Amino acid sequence: MSETGQSWHLEFKAHPAEAHRVREWAAYRLSHPDAAQVANELFVSVLASGTQTVEMTLSTAGRRARITAAGSVELKLHHSHGPGLSIVASLSTHSGVNTDGCGLWAQLTLKDET
């Protein structure tokens, strides 16, 4: 069984007003009821690091979707393990910090479209 997918990448200004656009973008691209909330929490956590922009990436492969938010500043412990990340952890199947320490990711399981 092959896993085909898609990937979308968009850069947002590091400003709280952009959170609404992030939620809309994620909800439009991913068919998961929690995608917008997870994208929002990742965006807000990276935004708090003081970066100038937040790069959001949405990727699908088979029944999996991955949401990534990354900035140019290494996240402090309270940005990578704060209350928003508790929400992400409870809504996603897996989540973590990017290897460079400047971003966060979460994996969701999409519903079968049969």
Task: Write out pLDDT tens, residues 32-50.
Answer: 999 999 999 999 999 999 9
69 burial level (CB within 10 Å; 0-12, 13-18, 19+): buried
Angle (CA) 105-56-112 rounded to 5° is 65
Q: Where do the domains of the chain lie, and which CATH numbers do they carry?
A: 7-109 (3.30.565.10)
Q: How far is 19 from 5, CA to CA, in rounded Å? A: 25
What pLDDT shows up at residue 2? 55
pTM of the model: 0.91
Task: Write out pLDDT tens, residues 71-111.
Answer: 999 988 776 777 888 999 999 999 999 999 999 999 999 87
73 burial level (CB within 10 Å; 0-12, 13-18, 19+): middle
